[in-house]
Amino acid sequence: MASLTLALAALAAPGPLGETPAGASPAPAAVEYYLDLGGSASVGFQPTAADPDGQPTDTGYANDLLRMERARWHGLQLVQFGCPGETTGKFTSGGDRCRPAGQTQLSQAVDFLHAHPDTVLMTIDLGFNDIERCLAFHIVDQTCLTQRLELINQQLPPILAALRAAAGPNVRLVGVGHYDPYLGDYLHGGSDIAFSEASVTAIIRLDETLHAIYAAAGVPMAAVGQAFELTHSEPVDLAGVGNVPENVERTCVLTWMCTSNSPRARQHPNDAGYQVIAQAIAVAVPD
């Protein structure tokens, strides 16, 4: 329809073909879609004054990325199907809090892609909720971690295959890597210092697992851990605290981990953190 409108406008114009007549408004940009999939971080989960435990907002990384990518796709519109607590299992089998029984995020995404061939960009953010239980009680359960990573190895490749088949070859799909919110526990001292250091290894294992899966599917992965200085432990100054490892300082500055008392909210990025994630995704989006 947009191309027909442009063609008719060009024929009616007194100037050369394709010129906008003097005083006329330029034709609106064609609507194209950015489909955002995943868990709570994908929908910009943030604590608010009304809900200190957090709720989806319009200041997440998808909103930031939308503004960045409108330089490329001027009519880009954001569609979000993400759900707090989403795992790779719930993504395909259902049971999350955001959809009726029998409906899944995967089926919803596939239906949308079939109905909207003008989708040009898609991000998928899964994995952290799969392993979260393995870091409960301030310990890293290595047996649990190995089992959950194996489940991701089984469940994520079919998800990517289904999304690729529904999207077609022209949709730019980017996987989202992960930062380590548990680094904020370093500030508690004592045994939590060892836990925070062990958590880095767990997140590295998660990101390595995801990177291998995405690479095998031909999907680039945003290096979010790198953007958060995940492996950098050189001492730096954290305002009001003193010297801490750099990765701890980054976690405190870019998430709610060191400032919120809500266990549900504190693992999530703040506005600055979401902007860093958006930038990491923008770097990974194929030209």
pLDDT value at position 136? 92
Count up the domains in the chain and report the number.
Answer: 1
- Does residue 176 lie in a domain region? yes
9 falls within a domain: no
Rounded to the nearest angstrom, the gap between the alpha carbon of residue 221 and the centroid of all alpha carbons in its chain is 10
pLDDT value at residue 264: 86
Q: Three-state DSSP class for 2? A: helix
Task: Identify whether 220 is part of a domain.
Answer: yes
66, part of any domain: yes
Per-residue pLDDT of the chain (287 residues), as tens digits, is 434 333 333 333 444 434 445 555 566 778 999 999 999 999 999 998 889 999 999 999 999 999 999 999 999 999 999 999 999 999 999 999 999 988 999 999 999 999 999 999 999 999 999 999 999 999 999 999 999 999 999 999 999 999 999 998 889 999 999 999 999 999 999 999 999 999 999 999 999 999 999 999 999 999 999 999 999 999 999 999 999 999 999 999 999 999 998 988 999 999 999 999 999 999 999 98
Q: Quick one: pLDDT at residue 132?
A: 96
Please give the Cα distance from 178 to 134 (Å, whole number): 16
Instruction: Note the pLDDT of residue 11.
Output: 34
Q: What are phi and psi of 37, to 5 degrees?
A: -125, 155
The pLDDT of residue 5: 38
| pTM, to two decimals | 0.89
> Counting Cβ atoms within 10 Å, is residue 253 exposed (0-12), middle (13-18) or buried (19+)?
middle
**Token pair listed for 22:** 């003097």
d(CA 138, CA 189): 12
Q: What pLDDT, on a 0 to 100 scale, did the predictor assign at position 20?
A: 45
Do the domain assignments include residue 280?
Answer: yes
pLDDT of residue 23: 58
Burial of residue 192, with CB atoms counted within 10 A of its CB: 0-12 exposed, 13-18 middle, 19 or more buried: middle
In a domain, residue 133? The reply is yes
Within a domain: residue 242? no
Query: Is 215 domain-assigned?
Result: yes
CATH number of the domain enclosing 166: 3.40.50.1110
Range of the domain at 50: 29-180+205-226+273-284
